Structure 1
Amino acid sequence: MSGEVQRRIRTCLECHRACLRAAVADLGRRDLEAAAPLARAILDCSQTCLIAADFITRMPSLSAELCAACAAACEACAEHCRRIAGDLPGMQECAEDCRRCADICRGTVPTGRSGGAVS
């Protein structure tokens, strides 16, 4: 496995963990109705990152599509976290990890989709 592939997997897993930490921090500090949009974005991103890392490892032929979905989920989550980063601990870290993961995953999307190259 190349260093770039290992970096992609590691970045997805780091983002997954940051999202889980942010979800736990958020659930204890706000009412559920107010937290719902952020919680959905965080959990969607967390799961997508985990699945992308798994597919990069086991099924490289499908990883480009999953990485495109992962990048989209990470971008949405980063935006939600960024909006409330000053109010809740861990949200800025989550936003940064999500942006980094989106950038890494975008690099695996074929040129016809979003300008990246398949690695």
Structure 2
Amino acid sequence: MRETCVPSGVNLKETGFGYTLSLVGGKYKMIILYWLSENKVMRFNELQRSIGTISFKTLSMMLKELEADGLIIRKEFPQIPPKVEYSLSDRGRSLIPLLNMMCEWGEKNRLPVLEAEQR
């Protein structure tokens, strides 16, 4: 029998599930990781254009958090104007199979819901 991921009586933050959610939870972190996995290296404005609905401040905050958590690498080039590139770290790349599984699950499960709504 498989041990539960979130045992009753245990604080969610003290579980592997809770830890993972703390790293990728929120509206934009998984989207940022997705775009970096697709493009390998991106600059701030490229990420902002790709996401489309994120403010400068929010993207800046999300990138700082992802970098602090060791999921992305920020590389700054000493030039004028300043150039900064973002890429996935090895740790960040290890999350991509999880994101792919979520995508596959969503594709499989959204179609029956859409079809049922159209009836």
TM-score grouping bracket, smaller chain normalisation: under 0.3
Counting strand residues as a fraction of each chain, which structure ranks higher? 2
Counting helix residues as a fraction of each chain, which structure ranks higher? 1
Whichever of the two has the greater Rg, that structure is 2
Compute the TM-score of the two structures, normalised by the length of structure 2. 0.28
Q: Which has the higher contact order (CA 8 A, sep 6+)?
A: 1
Compute the TM-score of the two structures, normalised by the length of structure 1. 0.28
